[in-house]
C-alpha cells in the first residue's frame, strides 16, 4: 500500500480537480497527503527566466515574493479542503522545475495525483508537460485525473 499521496497544484481550476481526487484517495487509504506549489522563474508574472538579468535582482525578488504569497493562498484553500475531509496534510512551497520538485517529494511507496493539464490547459496536447515529465522521472505511482477547461 502507499505511504502518502502527493498532490501538486498550480492554483488553476484544472489542477485543483486532480488535487481533490488525491485528497479523496488519501482519505480512502487512511494515509497523509502532501500538497506542493512550485515557484518557477519562468512563470513569475509571465517573464521568461532568461530575461531576469534585464529587469534586475530587486524586481525578481518582488515577483518571487508575489508568487510565494499566491502559493500560500492556494495552499490555504487546500488545507481547508483537507480539514473538511479529515485528511492529514502537509503543505510545501518549493522553487524550481515543477516536475523535479514533485518527483523529489515522492518515493516508490507513494502515489502522485495530478490533473492531465494545469494552468495552461492546452487541450490540443495529449497530456500536460509537467504531468508527462513527472510520469517519466518518478518511481512513484502517478494517477492522472482527466480534466478539461470549461471551453474545451
**Nearest CA to 50 among 41, 58, 38, 59?**
41
Query: Which phi and psi angles does 91 have, rounded to 5°?
Result: -115, 145
User: Domain boundaries in the chain?
Assistant: 5-145
pLDDT, one tens digit for every residue, the chain (152 residues): 899 999 999 898 888 889 999 999 999 999 999 999 999 865 554 444 445 555 566 777 787 888 899 999 999 999 999 999 999 999 999 999 999 999 999 999 999 999 886 554 444 344 568 889 999 999 999 999 987 655 54
Q: Which CATH architecture has domain 5-145?
A: 3-Layer(aba) Sandwich (3.40)
Overall pTM > 0.85: no
Q: Is the CB of residue 6 less than 8 Å from the CB of residue 102? A: yes
Amino acid at each position: 500500500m502507499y505511504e502518502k499521496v502527493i498532490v501538486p497544484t498550480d492554483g488553476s481550476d484544472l489542477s485543483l480537480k486532480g488535487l481533490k481526487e488525491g485528497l479523496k484517495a488519501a482519505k480512502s487509504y487512511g494515509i497523509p497527503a502532501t500538497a506542493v506549489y512550485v515557484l518557477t522563474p519562468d512563470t513569475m508574472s509571465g517573464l521568461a527566466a532568461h530575461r531576469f538579468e534585464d529587469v534586475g535582482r530587486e524586481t525578481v525578488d518582488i515577483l518571487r515574493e508575489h508568487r510565494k504569497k499566491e502559493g500560500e493562498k492556494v495552499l490555504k484553500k487546500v488545507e481547508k479542503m483537507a480539514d473538511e475531509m479529515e485528511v492529514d496534510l502537509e503543505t510545501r512551497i518549493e522553487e524550481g522545475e515543477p516536475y523535479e520538485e514533485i518527483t523529489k517529494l515522492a518515493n516508490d511507496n507513494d502515489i502522485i495525483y495530478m490533473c492531465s493539464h494545469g494552468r495552461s490547459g492546452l487541450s490540443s496536447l495529449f497530456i500536460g508537460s509537467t504531468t508527462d515529465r513527472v510520469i517519466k522521472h518518478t518511481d512513484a505511482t502517478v494517477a492522472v485525473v482527466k480534466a478539461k477547461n470549461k471551453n474545451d
